[in-house]
Chains A and B, each alone.
Chain A
Amino acid sequence: MAKNRTPTTIASHTRVDGKIRGDEDLLVLGRTSGAIEIEGLVEVAGSGIVEADVLATRVVIAGVVVGTVVATESLVVESTGRVVGSLTAPTLRIAEGAQYAGRLEVSGDARAADVAATTKVETTSEIALPTPAAPAPAPRKDRPSTTKRIVVKKQKKRDRNGVAAAMH
């Protein structure tokens, strides 16, 4: 991973509409819409709003993401994170308090999934997006693979209290 003197940052009062790609870390404090393809870490900070499909090595979501997120290494939704869409990663952690609506796909070892979300989100409006985004693409139901899928229902209760802490 190319470490840069000047990490790429979308500042909090900046909006990017379009495609962002590259092979260095990206910090989103503002808004982006379109697509993000990064070989490296994509961090959506608490103030960040991403309405885009995200493909990255690692993804940390503390803000809002609407779209399909694929991480090739790891994906973390922090307690302040809100996600509408699908999350795919070999290891996935959703912190307690995080909100999401959508589906999770944990490829590889399903035990790496650590879901402690309260999953309160039922509508995108609760996430208070200024403009409702398009729904996530329909799940591909019939892809045969060793992939294990975990679909968490909206009202599902937390089943592993505080396990998220173990991942820190």
Chain B
Amino acid sequence: MTTNDKTVIGNSITIEGTVDGTDDLVVHGTVKGKLSTSKGVTVAKSGKVEADVNATAVEIVGALSGGIVAKGKAEITAGGRMIGDIKAPRIMIADGAKFTGNIDMGGA
């Protein structure tokens, strides 16, 4: 049997609801609802996520509308678009990324 510890949502797939677990999650398609994992979430270039995201690491290459809470790093790459608040100890917003929202790095 396939041993696959990565959840992948393909281009043409739409999920309305919640996705949670302990696998890495890569979204090429559309997710509306809530994403939660103890590992990483990547919103790929074609990905459109309208959801709150709770993960260890979050990478936005596509579009995210919703809040991010990351235990580790939250990153919006060049070309990535995000509307929402980010709470993470390490945050990177690349040159060329679009971001509207608040940032909380939890530091003093």
Q: Interface-forming stretch among A27-35, A137-145, A148-156?
A: A27-35
User: Is B23 touching A16 in the complex (CB atoms < 8 A)?
Assistant: no
Q: How far, in Å, is B79 (CB) from chain A's closest CB? A: 19
Chain B interface residue number, banded: 20 to 34
User: Is A19 touching B17 in the complex (CB atoms < 8 A)?
Assistant: yes
List of A residues within 8 angstroms of B7 by Cβ: 9-11, 14, 30
Binding site for B on A (CB under 8 A): 2, 4, 6-24, 26-27, 29-30, 34, 45-47
Question: Which of A4, A11, A18, A26 is close to B6, meaning CB atoms less than 8 Å apart?
Answer: A11
Bound-complex Cα distance A29 to B21 (A): 12
List of A residues within 8 angstroms of B12 by Cβ: 2, 4, 22-24
| B93 within 8 Å of A (CB atoms) | no
List of A residues within 8 angstroms of B16 by Cβ: 18-19
Take A14-B19, A29-B2, A45-B1 as given contacts and tell me if A8 and B13 are in contact as well, using a CB distance cutoff of 8 Å: yes
| B26 within 8 Å of A (CB atoms) | yes
- A sample of 26 cross-chain residue pairs with beta-carbon separation below 8 angstroms, ordered by A number, consists of A4-B11, A6-B10, A6-B28, A7-B10, A8-B8, A8-B9, A8-B10, A8-B13, A8-B29, A11-B5, A13-B22, A14-B19, A14-B22, A15-B18, A16-B15, A18-B18, A19-B14, A19-B16, A21-B13, A21-B14, A22-B10, A24-B11, A27-B2, A29-B1, A45-B1, A46-B1
Q: How far, in Å, is B54 (CB) from chain A's closest CB? A: 14
Take A14-B37, A27-B2 as given contacts and tell me if A22 and B21 are in contact as well, using a CB distance cutoff of 8 Å: no
Q: How far, in Å, is B20 (CB) from chain A's closest CB? A: 6
User: Is A11 touching B33 in the complex (CB atoms < 8 A)?
Assistant: no
| B25 within 8 Å of A (CB atoms) | yes
List of A residues within 8 angstroms of B15 by Cβ: 16, 18-20
Closest chain B residue to A46, Cβ basis: B1
List of B residues within 8 angstroms of A23 by Cβ: 12
List of A residues within 8 angstroms of B22 by Cβ: 13-14
Closest chain A residue to B3, Cβ basis: A12
Bound-complex Cα distance A13 to B39 (A): 11
Bound-complex Cα distance A3 to B33 (A): 26
List of A residues within 8 angstroms of B11 by Cβ: 2, 4, 24
Take A20-B13, A23-B12 as given contacts and tell me if A45 and B2 are in contact as well, using a CB distance cutoff of 8 Å: yes
